[in-house]
Chain A
């Protein structure tokens, strides 16, 4: 009897999980489907789900109009660069907060997080002027630094949470064996926190990939990433939904594939320390 209840509950849980998953994925699925429609089919009412003449015309037009590879490469450099730089800065910071906390550590952590609450547009002009002075406008290097700074509080918080799960005695033992601080972080702490670091890297890579305020406002031609690529297909005067969907699908495809192949790592990292 108890087994029947458990099975039913499992089935219900599975069905619920699938329903939530499909609900979350539906907008992406709809975008992908729309990218294969004509512009007239894209705005048809009632909406057409699968029963339409599939066409690759929108992809051909997008390919012809835009240099997709240039945008993609910029996205890879900017998202990858900012994430790597962020982790390099955040690992020592999170180590200090997790293993050598002071009375104000919690306050510092909260203060770091509070910087995320400032609307980005509030600092647009100061950052823009700074970029002009430093000659960083429309440069990938400038964006790497800005996105790293924007995501740094999240990276530090995540790493801090993972590091707190690692017993401090292990690091103490390493120190007693003569490990220097650098060796302690590089050869003892980092390998133990690999799942956490991996999920932090992945999550921040996705955040940087999708960042659309700074990447649109600080780039023009040379450093424009895929967010600018999508923005060039959006129009308030004229219906270009099918082309916009094709551009969006091309922009999210790399990150979807990356997420798909890394999902085990991501889940493992996000649940790291949840069950002891």
Chain B
């Protein structure tokens, strides 16, 4: 009797186990930021509609990069969808490490994706990742301090105006710094910022023959200008300030201006966290006088399917859902238009409800004016604005940004840093066969 019962139980368990094995579950590696966390909260909607369960692996940006790079290069198969950026996508696409995102449904309307985003996430015209949200960079400034300084922020300021305004807004006695900018070492932190600043002074990382250009006068002009301005009007210890440090300073009313990611606009205008939420204005990122290129970057966090996953169809279904117009409307309906993922779709910026969001117009203008194929005034052999989309760039730029941060900290001169950057980059590029 016991044996029979045990057999019945075992058979029942086998059926349950088999059924469970057939229930589809996809695993997504993603980055920890507000928009991604919000999406996790709506995952049940996707599961209800498709029957596909979703497991999330949320990691800090740098940890995520290392984790997904290890997995995709070894074909580990741990993830069905990876959250990657504009730097990785074209490189991985060219290596056939990603599943091309073709055959997307008509209602998904792939042509609605902003052209700059689509280009940055493609290789040879093939889309390899769908943008969940995109960003450029722009000036965020304190309208009250600008008024007090007797100045008016132009729609498209120059670096010279920014420097004058920063000096005028600086009030050391009241702990107000005229300008807060990234100085922290790291290719995605201070390295990204000084690269776009250099672009707007006419500098470039490499010439058409992949020769490093740190020995050219444009780089010296850009770096010298940045250091002088920050020493005059920047916060103490800016050499170690990144996005979060500057966000914290700005939200506490300690910065007159902050030039950084457009996505920060929603943080500094959120009255729950920001003490200056109702006193923030926006302008395009500056350029040096006479240089027809602004210092705004272009970035997207996008969803891609690694080659080798056994659940490519389910993964594609999820990507279609998460980056769709319907998802944007779902978020807007529940949390307001200011909280929808920005910078990915043209239709969002045509929506009158979204146009009413104070930073929407400048965000779109910044994104549209960014051109990854022509990041600076001179021709370049690479794609990317705040980076060059080659595998060697992350390592080289991290080292170079460390040299620049040492200048910001007063540990070496501009000339010394540029000479070291030139020598190191030339050596690495030669070793890589360029």
Residues of chain A from 179 to 218 with CB closer than 8 A to chain B in the complex = 216-217
Is there contact, CB below 8 Å, between A237 and B61?
yes
Q: Using a CB-CB cutoff of 8 Å, which residues 215-260 of chain A contact chain B? A: 216-217, 220-221, 224, 228, 231-240
Chain B residues within an 8 Å CB radius of A240:
32
What residue of chain A has the Cβ atom nearest to residue B36's Cβ? A235
| 0/1 string, B68-79, CB within 8 A of A gives 1 | 001101111111
> Do A236 and B61 have beta carbons less than 8 Å apart?
yes
B252 x A236 contact (CB < 8 A): no
| Contact between chains at B272 and A40 (CB < 8 Å) | yes
Is A137 an interface residue, CB under 8 A from the partner? yes
B60 within 8 A of A: yes
Determine the residue in chain A with the shortest Cβ distance to B30.
Answer: A232
Task: Please tell me if the beta carbons of A236 and B70 are within 8 angstroms of each other in the complex.
Answer: no
Q: A68 on the interface (CB 8 Å rule)?
A: no
A220 to B275, CA, bound (A): 39
Judged by a CB distance under 8 angstroms, whether B34 is at the interface is yes
* Contact B75 A124, beta carbon cutoff 8 Å: no
Known: A65-B37, A238-B33. A231 touches B252 (CB 8 A): no
Q: Kindly state the separation between the CA atoms of A131 and B70 in the bound complex, as whole angstroms.
A: 12
In chain B, positions 44-80 with a C-beta closer than 8 Å to chain A are: 55, 57-63, 66-67, 70-71, 73-79
In the bound complex, residues from chain B placing their C-beta under 8 Å from that of A39 are 272-273
Question: Could you give 20 example pairs across A and B, Cβ below 8 Å?
Answer: A40-B251, A43-B248, A45-B248, A45-B252, A125-B74, A128-B71, A128-B74, A216-B67, A217-B70, A220-B78, A221-B55, A221-B57, A233-B32, A236-B60, A236-B189, A236-B244, A237-B61, A237-B244, A239-B244, A239-B247
| A interface size (C-beta, 8 A) | 30
Inter-chain CA distance A217–B252, complex, in Å, is 36
Smallest distance from the beta carbon of B54 to chain A beta carbons, Å? 11
Please, what's the 1-or-0 string for B250-275, where 1 marks a CB less than 8 Å from any CB in chain A?
01101000000101000100001101
Q: What bracket does the count of chain B residues touching chain A fall in?
A: 35 or more
Contact between A132 and B75 (Cβ–Cβ < 8 Å)? Answer: yes
A97-145 residues at the B interface, CB under 8 angstroms: 124-125, 128-129, 131-132, 137-138
Q: Are A125 and B70 in contact, with the CB atoms below 8 A?
A: yes
Chain A nearest CB, measured from B72 CB (Å): 11
Q: Is B387 part of the contact surface with A, judged by Cβ < 8 Å?
A: no
Report yes or no: B33 in contact with A235, Cβ–Cβ below 8 A: yes
Any chain B CB within 8 A of the CB of A44?
yes
Q: How far is the CA of A40 from the CA of B271 in the complex (A)?
A: 10
CB of B243 within 8 Å of the partner chain = yes
Could you say which of B57, B66, B243 contacts A224, with CB atoms under 8 Å apart?
B57
Further contacts, 10 of them, CB under 8 A, given A43-B252, A216-B63: A40-B272, A43-B251, A128-B74, A220-B55, A221-B55, A232-B58, A234-B63, A235-B32, A236-B244, A238-B33
The 9 A-B residue pairs with the shortest CB-CB distance, nearest first, are A232-B58, A234-B60, A43-B248, A235-B32, A220-B78, A221-B55, A236-B61, A220-B57, A40-B273
Q: Are B66 and A217 in touch, CB under 8 angstroms?
A: yes
Q: Is the CB of B243 within 8 A of A221?
A: no
User: Is B120 in the interface zone, CB < 8 Å from A?
Assistant: no
How far apart are the CA atoms of A216 and B41 in the complex, in Å? 23
Partner of A234, one of B32, B242, B251, B272: B32
Out of A124, A128, A224, A231, name the residue touching B60 (CB < 8 Å): A231
Question: Which residues from B are CB-within-8-Å of A40?
Answer: 251, 272-273, 275
